[in-house]
A and B are shown apart, each in its own frame.
Chain A
Amino acid sequence: KFLINYKMKYSAEQEYPDLSQHNNHMAKVLTAEMYANLRDKETPSGFTLDDVIQTGVDNPGHPFIMTVGCVAGDEETYEVFKDLMDPVIEDRHGGYKPSDKHKTDLNSENLQGGDDLDPNYVLSSRVRTGRSIRGFCLPPHCSRGERRAIENLSIESLDILDGDLKGKYYALKNMTDEEQQQLIDDHFLFDKPVSPLLLASGMARDWPDGRGIWHNDNKTFLVWVNEEDHLRVISMQKGGNMREVFTRFCTGLTKIEALFKERGHEFMWNEHLGYVLTCPSNLGTGLRAGVHVKLPNLSKHEKFGEILKRLRLQKRGTGGVDTAAVGGVFDISNADRLGFSEVELVQMVVDGINLLVDMEKRLEAGESIDDMVPEQK
């Protein structure tokens, strides 16, 4: 029986990555000393420090966004490598401390308002999150056997959903051309990742084996299986009724969680990190709630960036992360994930968008918005 720690033949200095050109969260935190302390550790499934950081070593930085530069390979990664992960989490999530507790609230009744964002400005509303299934390794590390088991469990559970959640699963590997075209037209289809941030972490291995898309007949509730996380759950619809989107989101998620539990599988969650996902940036709620909204005047206002910041919102182009806005239409969503509950984050989006639209109307009328600029939330 082997017990070969082959890389340990080399000193820590010889193995420590060159991060001199790098600008990501991992590179800011990983000192040579920390590397030396963690390099002989592994999780029970065999995920190592080099596995955690590979994507951050291979991708020094991104021009528009501060990337995380590390991933988890399983639930235990966040524990075994806490010396690295805790400071990365703190830096990324606004000072969140190792002793902090995260609150989960998926009771949509606790949301105030949100059913009447002006559809003349708010074109669509969407809420997404991720879920990991306890007992399996995460996408950077899982084997084909694990991935297929996750897919089978997911299909079994999702098939049971009924009412307005009744739907169908489309496995990527045996999709017909018509099915594929329809999913593209519906903006549902996800494709093999092309971003080197994702590829370098190993999550595209064996594509498209074990991957697929489930959606309800109404096309308002969608689950991605085995993309960047075990599950990505998405609720969406045209117009500004974020309340309805969030209600469906919470109902659907809660049902899915119960169905998995019936089959002896729970979601990865703990009271410090909330829901455990592949990327440390998605810990906590894993929730991104957003709208596509027309803000041609406001987006050119010199205080636009500052206003978003104070509202704890972020902007993206309508192609998602990494894209530019087209025709004054922006994707505006919550910036936070950890340390706030789902209800709190969606509330920020609802209140913030209402304010931004009012500001847009003011600017259209040629009036100033100086008295409307909010305090830091």
Chain B
Amino acid sequence: MPFGNTHNNFKLNYKVEEEYPDLSKHNNHMAKVLTKDIYAKLRDKQTPSGFTVDDVIQTGVDNPGHPFIMTVGCVAGDEESYEVFKDLLDPIISDRHGGYKATDKHKTDLNFENLKGGDDLDPNYVLSSRVRTGRSIKGFTLPPHNSRGERRAIERLSVEALTSLDGEFKGKYYPLKSMTDAEQEQLINDHFLFDKPVSPLLTCAGMARDWPDARGIWHNDNKTFLVWVNEEDHLRVISMQKGGNMREVFRRFCVGLQKIEEIFKKHNHGFMWNEHLGYILTCPSNLGTGLRGGVHVKLPKLSTHPKFDEILNRLRLQKRGTGGVDTASVGGVFDISNADRLGSSEVAQVQLVVDGVKLMVEMEKKLEKGEAIDSMIPAQK
């Protein structure tokens, strides 16, 4: 809690052994990394806003593991968390992001013109295309830690910035706490509405406090560009549309993001970014680009092929059910997206999705005709 270091000092009355969490049943990135020695070294530290190592790891202590996914088990409370607790976070980042080293540099590329193709994914298979990322606003602490005052300031700044957008981005903000029933119904039908987190992974990190105060959804009139305010990150930015024109989705994504960033910069609140970690977000898994570019695609035959997972692996893609992370696929329709976030640029990651999905649709067509796909299996990207 951000009130000086009274509480953390109080805990120092107990020895390391007494305070060190029992991680014996745990299987998440934090539990793999946090030795007693690291805990001993970090436990008397705190960020300038008062975030401590116990705050960082609470969600991972409370949630030993997930049956389907290897969870991260820790969060940042502010930009400085990644520096003050680097002894814990650097190894986790390396483990999670394919060996990314403490000295590595991350490249940002939001120039959609650098994407090759991507406007013609077969709409008989690709039902919809979507790109999302997160952004944190410099000078504020992050959702696990921020106060109501900070959250409201973030909302105010965001609404100012977003309501100044025009053209294809002209839109409207719907605060969660004063939404009418009709507005709520419409947002649900559009698949835009986000609700109070129920996942204990999120609630244990404290990001649902004071719900629904200062949370809201902004979207453009065309319903193709959407911003969530104060959910798991300060901002989640989403570009989406039906069909397979990922290029158009990505163009809108890049243009919109850059317009928003300019407005925030004018108010002396740029986005949290550095050349090592790229964009700074609440969960270490979203560092770098924070980007998940994906499609809902019909792959009933390919998905039952014994090499499906291997193919995805090599293409650096991952599958999810159409309800998002944690869900199962329905009717052979999968959510396929990039697996990487850090160490490659936005353009590079969307390129992997475009090229990979194209290949998989061709494989699906081959399998429909009863032909083999062995010759099409790609090399590891």
Contact = CB atoms under 8 A, between A and B. Distances in A.
Interface string A50-87: 11001001100000000000000000000000000000
A6 B210 contact: no
Contacts of B68: none
Give 8 closest A-B pairs by Cβ, nearest first. Answer: A10-B149, A46-B7, A145-B14, A46-B6, A6-B2, A145-B18, A14-B149, A145-B19
12 contacts: A2-B48, A4-B49, A6-B2, A6-B147, A10-B147, A45-B10, A58-B210, A144-B18, A145-B15, A145-B19, A205-B61, A209-B61
A1 B209 CA distance: 29
Nearest to B141: A6
A281 to B, nearest CB: 22
Contacts of B46: 2
Contacts of B150: 10
Contacts of B149: 7, 9-11, 14-15
A58 B49 contact: no
Contacts of B3: 5-7, 42, 46, 48
A209 B61 CA distance: 10
Interface string A144-158: 111011000000000
A365 interface: no
Interface string B353-367: 000000000000000
Interface string A1-42: 111111101110011111001000000000000000000001
Contacts of B285: none
B50 interface: yes
Contacts of A7: 2-3, 147, 149
B190 interface: no
A143 interface: yes
A203 to B, nearest CB: 12
Contacts of A205: 58, 61-62, 204
Given A2-B48, A15-B148, A199-B203, A143 B177 contact: no
Interface residues of B, number: 43
Interface of A: 1-7, 9-11, 14-18, 21, 42, 44-48, 50-51, 54, 57-58, 137, 141, 143-146, 148-149, 173, 199-200, 204-207, 209
Nearest to B2: A6
A148 B18 CA distance: 7
Contacts of B62: 204-207
Contact of B54 (A58, A143, A146, A207): A143
Contacts of A48: 1, 3
A205 B13 CA distance: 19
A269 B3 CA distance: 28
Nearest to A144: B19
A69 B141 CA distance: 26
A5 B5 CA distance: 10
Nearest to B7: A46
Given A46-B8, A137-B10, A144-B19, 13 more contacts: A2-B4, A2-B50, A5-B3, A6-B147, A14-B149, A17-B148, A46-B7, A47-B7, A57-B209, A144-B21, A148-B18, A149-B14, A205-B58
A46 B8 CA distance: 8
Nearest to A48: B3
Contacts of A144: 18-21
A17 B147 CA distance: 10
B46 to A, nearest CB: 7
B97 to A, nearest CB: 28
B196 to A, nearest CB: 9
Contacts of A173: 22, 25
B153 interface: yes
B49 A14 contact: no
A357 to B, nearest CB: 44
A375 to B, nearest CB: 46
Contact of B61 (A6, A46, A47, A206): A206
Interface string B46-60: 101110001000100
Contacts of B48: 2, 4, 6
A320 to B, nearest CB: 23
